[in-house]
A and B are shown apart, each in its own frame.
Chain A
Amino acid sequence: MTDGCDRAGWLKRIAIVGADESDEIGMVPHKGVLQHHSEAALNALEDAGLTLSDVDGLFTCGAGFAASLQVAEYLGIQPKYTDSTSVGGSSFVIHVEHAAAAIANGLIDVALITHGETGYSNRFRPGVGRAPMDPWFPSSQFEAPYHIGGPPSSYALACTRHMHQYGTTHEQLAEIAVATRKWARLNPKALMRDPLTIDDVLSSRWISYPFHLLDCCLVTDAGGAIVVTSAERAKDCKKKPVWVLGSGEATTHWTLANMPDLTTTPASISGPLAFEMAGVKHTDIDVVGVYDSFTYTALVTLEALGFCKPGEGGAFVSNQRTAPGGDFPMNTNGGGLSYTHPGMYGMFLLIEATRQLRGECGPRQVPDAKLACVNGTGGALSSTGTLILGAD
């Protein structure tokens, strides 16, 4: 079928067949970015029962200029299709939609999506990290002189407005940090596994008002990779397929001054696309993974995706509803807040959703999880990718 524009045509024709992290994640100063990419790639291919020689499409970003060239050569492959779409933490979720389109249209068979960052260890290696911005670019002229101050402050500006407009409270934000830590305590790969209370969050120091330290994600070293292929090819893989049932992506701005509405996210666009394509309802979803760079990011994303109405996110997450045992299991790996967050976290949403839908999560397994919703957020609430994933 050559239905390039028939989005529903992807239904059950595209599958995630491999997913894994790099060998060590957390604080790994003895390894570099490309080691994380390659370890994760080999682990994910092993998980799928495939090898590097099966890969004909590579999707990646964050490994310097022309990231797909850098990573392809390091892996020793010459893929016929590459995509270095780099839109922040949502990139890898969006890569799944791009890979699905390439597979559905017969351009490639096996897509490898890789991630690797050393967000923690970069501080010990001067000169490593993101390239400086052109001084004539708008961010350089109209944000840097006022010291916008990195991701915490951008998201803090959005959160302040949400609090003003809807009465969202610090306590409601802290509910998310505490619930997410409870999940992390069930994940041996999570960096932060000590017990955490609402008071602990509220008494942690300010980073960027309205965010306390414990409203903010970790900064770690980690890599991850997933393998995406056709339904036909998935039959030969080692584990049961996780189907890509629906997808959507959206982009609204780069500088915060040009964000159309600071109290929502582009998930209000990508979410409905994904749900409509999958033909499922919010109440059908068994497990949710939303980007939690900050507690607020998760809260506002639940609203934007339509799990609750705008402004109701605070009430929605109250009483530990998203914690283990609650009726809305969310960020079951412990999230960017407590498990790992190397800089662009979206890859790890995909790995956890895949594991949940395969029933591989041990003590943190959501019973009988058949449908997952994943939403990656990148930039300054600039870009989102939403996926609906399903198990047979």
Chain B
Amino acid sequence: MPDEKYAKPLPVPSPEARRFWEGAKNHELWLPYCRPCAKSYWYPRDFCPTCGTREVEWRKSTGRGRVYTFAIQYRAFHPGWNDATPYVTALIDLDEGVRIFSNLVDVAPDPKALRCEMPVEVVFDDVTDEITLPKFRPVAS
């Protein structure tokens, strides 16, 4: 259930990223894709940052990937996060070949429970009526 008192910073979807945030609200992970390069890229732009073409489109991700790296945050730099420490930040290498930043959830914020290359899948956190944040949780390999 959305938390009406959500006090953490929220994204403000930009025009070129609106499809991503609409997708998240529908519990789908959508990535920008370059047709000439035949690969996804991150983050959303109306052109491909590798080749410069505007021949780009949106494709739905499997939502599966691996943890490239992680860190455990013991300090909050925003009052909304004061009660959330420690929490886990991570870079996820999605199966589509892009790396995105997110939080790891459903796992102890403990170095013993976390490792680089652990397989993960997307979960959708409906933080308000308007915004859903894609996050990731470990899955059995």
Q: Which residues does A use to contact B, with CB under 8 Å?
A: 135-138, 140-150, 152-153, 156-161, 164-165, 205-210, 255-258, 262
A330 to B85, alpha carbons, bound, how many Å?
A: 35
- Is B133 within 8 A of A146, CB to CB? yes
Residues of A within 8 A of B71 (CB): 153, 156-157, 159-160, 208-210
Q: Beyond the given A149-B73, A164-B117, A262-B68, could you list 5 further A-B residue pairs with CB under 8 A, ordered by the A residue number? A: A147-B8, A147-B84, A149-B76, A164-B116, A262-B91
Known A136-B12, A142-B11: A255·B101 in contact at CB below 8 Å: yes
- Is B68 within 8 A of A208, CB to CB? no
- Is A142 within 8 A of B101, CB to CB? yes
Q: Which of A136, A206, A262 contacts B72 (CB 8 A)?
A: A206
- Is B100 within 8 A of A257, CB to CB? yes
A158 to B91, alpha carbons, bound, how many Å?
A: 10
- Is A257 within 8 A of B89, CB to CB? no
A140 to B8, alpha carbons, bound, how many Å?
A: 12
- Is A208 within 8 A of B73, CB to CB? yes
Q: Which of A137, A152, A157, A210 contacts B91 (CB 8 A)?
A: A157
| In the A-B complex, the 3 residue pairs with the closest CB atoms | A136-B14, A156-B71, A209-B72
- Among B8, B71, B87, the one with the most A-chain Cβ atoms within 10 Å of its Cβ is B71
Residue ID in chain A nearest B17 by CB atoms: A141
How far does the Cβ of B50 sit from chain A's closest Cβ, in whole Å? Answer: 11
B70 within 8 A of A: yes
- Is B69 within 8 A of A158, CB to CB? yes
- Is B43 within 8 A of A256, CB to CB? no
A339 to B123, alpha carbons, bound, how many Å?
A: 44
Q: Which of A148, A208, A257 contacts B43 (CB 8 A)?
A: A257
- Is A147 within 8 A of B116, CB to CB? no
- Among A141, A148, A161, A255, the one with the most B-chain Cβ atoms within 10 Å of its Cβ is A141
Residues of A within 8 A of B75 (CB): 149, 152, 207-208
B78 within 8 A of A: yes
Tally of contacts, chain A with chain B, CB under 8 A? 115
Residues of B within 8 A of A205 (CB): 74
Residue ID in chain B nearest A147 by CB atoms: B81
Residues of B within 8 A of A149 (CB): 73, 75-77, 81, 89
- Is B74 within 8 A of A209, CB to CB? yes
Residue ID in chain B nearest A141 by CB atoms: B11
A153 to B85, alpha carbons, bound, how many Å?
A: 13
- Is B72 within 8 A of A145, CB to CB? no
Question: What 0/1 pattern do residues 41 to 72 of B give for CB contact below 8 A with A?
Answer: 01100000000000000000000000011111
B115 within 8 A of A: yes
B19 within 8 A of A: no
Can you report 8 A-B residue pairs in the complex whose CB atoms are below 8 A from each other? Answer: A135-B11, A145-B133, A147-B77, A149-B76, A164-B116, A207-B75, A256-B101, A258-B42
Residue ID in chain B nearest A152 by CB atoms: B75
Residue ID in chain B nearest A143 by CB atoms: B101
Residue ID in chain A nearest B12 by CB atoms: A135
A180 to B78, alpha carbons, bound, how many Å?
A: 31
B99 within 8 A of A: yes
Known A135-B12, A138-B43, A142-B11: A148·B101 in contact at CB below 8 Å: yes
How far does the Cβ of A175 sit from chain B's closest Cβ, in whole Å? Answer: 20
How far does the Cβ of A166 sit from chain B's closest Cβ, in whole Å? Answer: 12
A159 to B91, alpha carbons, bound, how many Å?
A: 13
Residues of B within 8 A of A209 (CB): 71-72, 74, 86, 111
Question: What 0/1 pattern do residues 9 to 29 of B give for CB contact below 8 A with A?
Answer: 111111101000000000000
- Is B69 within 8 A of A164, CB to CB? yes
- Is B68 within 8 A of A146, CB to CB? no
A143 to B68, alpha carbons, bound, how many Å?
A: 16
A262 to B101, alpha carbons, bound, how many Å?
A: 13
Q: Which of A145, A153, A255, A257 contacts B8 (CB 8 A)?
A: A145
How far does the Cβ of B8 sit from chain A's closest Cβ, in whole Å? Answer: 7
How far does the Cβ of B39 sit from chain A's closest Cβ, in whole Å? Answer: 15
Question: What 0/1 pattern do residues 74 to 114 of B give for CB contact below 8 A with A?
Answer: 11111001001011011100000001111100000001000
Known A208-B73, A208-B74, A262-B68: A157·B89 in contact at CB below 8 Å: yes
A148 to B75, alpha carbons, bound, how many Å?
A: 11
Q: Which of A140, A152, A206, A257 contacts B42 (CB 8 A)?
A: A257
